[in-house]
Structure 1
Amino acid sequence: MTSSSLPSTIAAPVEHTLEIKRSVFLTHLAPARTVEEADAVIASIRKLRWDARHHCTALIVGTHADRQRSSDDGEPAGTAGVPMLEVLRRREMTDVVAVVSRWFGGVLLGAGGLVRAYGNAVAGALDEAAIVHRALRTHVSMDVPHADAGRVLAFLHQWVGTHDAVLDSPAYGQAATLSLWVPQDQVDALNADLAAHTGGAIATEAGEIRVVDVPAR
């Protein structure tokens, strides 16, 4: 996976319920930046939903989705955790944990039915989640006189919305320090647009490059 197509994550926990032949599959999908955070989520769901027969899990963490794990939790091998994990992989997700709690409805679903049920349970939760994309961005900052800060900030708010950039909160000292995270190939465009908007009165400084969250627009 290239730096321009890093895996995404979710903005907040989400839950989704699926019922098949009286079996209930309740998915809890949550952000988790480490395996330890994911394990804490799993433990809390096990405690909260103690009466479910199974708590099957799948997790992926790491900027490049480099740590992955799943568990069938008593379901036939390969019918729960793996299909759950495969959905997360197909959707190119990371820093996320999925827990599907199942209450058995008395009707056997068979191996194929379980694979479809657990996969669809996670897919349904992802469909309802707010997706946060990630990408490499360059930090660009500028010091703006307080008298001009509101006008320049309004311009930047509009600019980031059309250039896949992310605006930081302003910092106020002797001047207002405004900063944003910009695609590398858009830094020159930012400077040109800013110069046109301010008559060349504001100088920018490009800094570090790092992976940032870019909310879907």
Structure 2
Amino acid sequence: MDDYKTVLIANETESEVKKSRFIGMVFHVEDETAVEGILTEVRKKHYKATHVCWAYVLNASPKRQKASDDGEPSGTAGKPILDVINHRELRDVLVVVIRYFGGVKLGTGGLIRAYGGAAGDVLNQSRIIKKQFSDQLEIMVSYSGYGNLMSGLSEKEIMAVHEDFGENVTLSFFIPVAETPAFLAWVLDQTNANSEVTMGEQAYVDVAESLDK
């Protein structure tokens, strides 16, 4: 399974293009049922809107994605939104762009720019999270080996997610799957082979990134 980026916290932005209001919204979704539920609520709240256009991409193999122009000329709304999501390599994301028509027609190019721009704006103002597919590891070392191991981990800027102090010290880590073999070899060397490793279940771990511009 591959790492991917997503947005976990819903967000909303608004802009105006030639008197039309465009409201961009982003949501975290993991299946089509969640998508339909959110779209139902958005349509209820914005029942006076001229168009409620959207696109989503789900983290699946093969990738599942869909877009809707909701009455705008074909390819001028849903596809630009979808293109923005895919360009930023996001998954498990639904982006909705609501239009309140202001009386001035934008033309094909204008619509593409307006819908793509609204999608880009809301994602620019959203916290992007990397979902990192990782091995869960527990490493047990003696107290005499603990200090040396922690010193090395500090230099490598790797932090344990949990420490348990009993008869020995047990440290828990989430390590990216591709990096696990090298990490375990390093631990073996750092502890002079006086360590015991237990492999847990693999899981996605959230890694915060800076605001994605």
Once the 2 structures are TM-superposed, how far is the Cα of residue 202 of structure 1 from its aligned partner?
5.6
Once the 2 structures are TM-superposed, how far is the Cα of residue 170 of structure 1 from its aligned partner?
6.6
Provide the residue aligned with 1:32 in structure 2. 29
Please, which moves more after superposition, 134-143 or 73-82?
134-143
Provide the residue aligned with 1:49 in structure 2. 46
Deviation string 1:118-138 (CA, Å, 9 cap, x unpaired) is 001001111111111133322
Provide the residue aligned with 1:89 in structure 2. 86
CA distance in 2, matches of 1:30, 1:216: 17
One-letter amino acid of the structure 1 residue matched with residue 25 of structure 2: H
Deviation string 1:14-47 (CA, Å, 9 cap, x unpaired) is 1111110110100110000111111111111111
Q: Does 1:16 align with 2:9?
A: no
The runs of 5 or more residues in structure 1 that have no matched partner are none
The runs of 5 or more residues in structure 2 that have no matched partner are none
Provide the residue aligned with 1:128 in structure 2. 125
CA distance in 2, matches of 1:43, 1:31: 15
CA distance in 1, matches of 2:152, 2:101: 53
Provide the residue aligned with 1:206 in structure 2. 199
Provide the residue aligned with 1:59 in structure 2. 56
> What percentage of residue pairs aligned between the two structures are identical?
31
Once the 2 structures are TM-superposed, how far is the Cα of residue 51 of structure 1 from its aligned partner?
1.5
Matched residue SS, 1:39: helix
Q: CA RMSD in A?
A: 3.5
Taking the TM superposition and a 5 Å limit, the aligned residue runs for 1:128-167 are: 128-142=125-139, 162-163=157-158
Once the 2 structures are TM-superposed, how far is the Cα of residue 215 of structure 1 from its aligned partner?
2.3
Q: Do the aligned residues in 2 keep the contact of 1:138 with 1:181 (CA within 8 Å)? A: yes
Provide the residue aligned with 2:208 in structure 1. 215
Q: Do the aligned residues in 1 keep the contact of 2:27 with 2:93 (CA within 8 Å)? A: yes
CA distance in 2, matches of 1:60, 1:66: 7
CA distance in 2, matches of 1:103, 1:173: 63
